[in-house]
Amino acid sequence: MPSPTESRLPFEAPIYEMEARLAEMEATYAKNRAGVDSTSIAEQIRRLRRELANLKRTIYANLQPWESVQVSRLPSRPQTRDYIDLIFDQFVELHGDRAIGDDMAVVTGMAHLGDEKVMFIGHQKGKNLAERKACNFGCAHPEGYRKALHKMKMAAKFGLPIVTFIDTPGAYPGIAAEERGQAAIIAENLMAMSQLETPIVCVVIGEGGSGGALGIGVGDRLAMLEHSYYSVISPEGCATILWKSNEHAPRAAEALRMTSRDLLRMKIIDEVIQEPLGGAHRDHREAASSLKSMLIRAIRELKELPREQLLQNRYDKFRRIGIFLEGEEQAPLNGLTGDH
């Protein structure tokens, strides 16, 4: 597990200071519960708790894009395997791509989500250094996306809804990965997911970087946890290209419009899942509960649609992305209204 200081971000300093004061007061109250000042201390504790909640709410409601990126990368933030334990029942992991090997950066398996049987696919970064190296820090190789594709086709064959969790800086860009067809398998996944005759729900739980995210990101519903990001490139990569230095990453993060609020406003995603006060890293169970509720609701709604309508809606959803109209009097484009 990461150390407490490893998960602390600069803008959270006032929160940690107030939490330290609160812990001291609670310790004092526990020692002097029978004392004459116990009532006064109890009232101060209640007041400080309210102030702390308001402080968290204020800070996290006004995060800058770069700060949201920092939150999405916190080592203490719940990862795919954490959510598997908290959300799904009877998870049976499925390994291998039947070609090269088993990429630990992509987790696949069958599970129960409430009363529903689903096929689950998600990126995994790892908690400690050994796990992160084994998972390649969440950067999947071609065999990871080939494994995901094989399991998705299996799900469609048996009529299982598909749930994917996205949490990757991007697909691994190494020479060996390219030699094994990294770009080709991601493209194949995009095509296949657009045509699978089963409901697909995708959620960005942390980082959603580039083609690595898209490789398991084409679905009927695309949601994001509140403090995650979803982008064609990382802020550092964008800054290096545009300004020749990753020191401009905060500037790039703002320009990329990669936060959940921005993407919901542009109708690239369908829903933002509220995180616990102060971020998912502060309460894994509450974050998992909100995520589970969204998944159950989305699958229930999608299962009611005829297969032809499901596929048409999915196609239309992605065809609309990137279409913008200027001026109120401009005629609709490709049958779309000015709302798009």
67-83 pLDDT tens trace: 999 999 999 999 999 99
Three state DSSP letters for 11-70: HHHHHHHHHHHHHHHHHHHHHCCCCCCHHHHHHHHHHHHHHHHHHHHHHHHCCCHHHHHH
Weakest-pLDDT range from 32-41, 141-150, 197-206, 252-261: 32-41
C-alpha 178/C-alpha 173 separation (Å) is 7
How confident is the model over 9-51, as pLDDT tens digits? Answer: 889 999 999 988 888 888 877 776 655 566 777 888 888 889 9
Of 262, 259, 267, the C-alpha closest to 316 is 267
Alpha helices in 62-181 (DSSP H): 65-72, 80-87, 129-134, 142-158, 175-179
Burial class of residue 275 (count of CB atoms within 10 Å of its CB; 0-12, 13-18, 19+): buried
Give dist(CA 217, CA 226) in Å, integer.
17
Nearest to 227 by CA among 255, 202, 204, 252: 204
Instruction: Assign 154 a pLDDT band (cuts: 50, 70, 90).
Output: very high
Superfamily of domain 69-320 in the CATH hierarchy: 2-enoyl-CoA Hydratase; Chain A, domain 1 (3.90.226.10)
In contact, 232 and 332? CB cutoff 8 Å: no
Tokens 């006004």 sit at which residue?
Answer: 62
Residue 3 has pLDDT above 50, yes or no: no
Q: Is the pTM of this model over 0.85?
A: yes
Return the C-alpha torsion angle 119, 125, 128, 133, nearest 10: 110
